[in-house]
Structure 1
């Protein structure tokens, strides 16, 4: 097996597609035919494959909430056991966060996202692990979770204020918080037109600001959504 490699291989471009895991290996994008995480607890993790393997994964485009390795039934895609931070892949992603190492993100055709290819696999670019924590998943088991953000988003800070193409987490008095997307179709978010009154009131607002719309809303979080 080749040595672990961080970054984008020479000659490989973002959004380039590959027919199989074998082609990913030949392109130096991922070294395994089955594992989702390419890495270990000593050197870090260099790549992940999103392929509808875990029910708790969330793909927002430029932001990914990734479920760690272990405890998953490959047939049902359900968690059947707890995950552990001692798993080499999970430890590798923690090391990548600590050392600020780039992680290649690859989306498979089975992965439920508008950014996924119709067949095969698509290289989605370089991300950084910015957070990790332990959570209880949909099936009731403890899972290791990681937040990855695309490098260009970290560099440009697109989420400083609200604008077209973003997702906004809003809280209204007496109600649960809810995600809204402005001008884009994003998963788990209610789309609002960029021309709507609500969108106009939100434009240029920042986290912590409020708008006088309906019962009123407070902005809890802002995320850029990449939709191509």
Structure 2
């Protein structure tokens, strides 16, 4: 039974035609998680550490810039760090541990693992971080929301809000209860993913 990231599944869902097969092959051939291939790991871990330890000084993130040796990271990290610092602004923020679960259908397991559980000005948010340069489209947002709500709602308080943070653009997008509208699509796409996986 394949176990894949939510990012990979969302990328598969929004593709059409032969790029779907290309995506499945890419996921299958890549193998398990390798930290060396995780472009945003340093910054993502720093964000989590920042909140877990209750740090307040946003300049702490600038430390990362001096540690970067990869040219691509030197080019892309500054904008993301600037965006996250802008998102933080003057908000009163406290940490809680976000839930992590599997969403499973048709023999496919999708890891739903939001990075942040933040109480922001009194409201609890469960947040998935989005770092890609590729625009966060109106097609991706409801898919991400449905996966998070479907997989995690039973582990959360009724008042918890699910969201995705477009880091570079400092934009926090909260989801309405979109599960009912999107679930038939996700079920069909999971079946399609497995069919292609088995055929390759």
TM over 0.5: no
Whose helix fraction is larger, Structure 1's or Structure 2's?
2
TM-score range, shorter chain: under 0.3
Task: Find the structure with the greater CA-based Rg.
Answer: 1
Whose strand fraction is larger, Structure 1's or Structure 2's?
1
Q: TM-score, normalised by structure 1?
A: 0.21
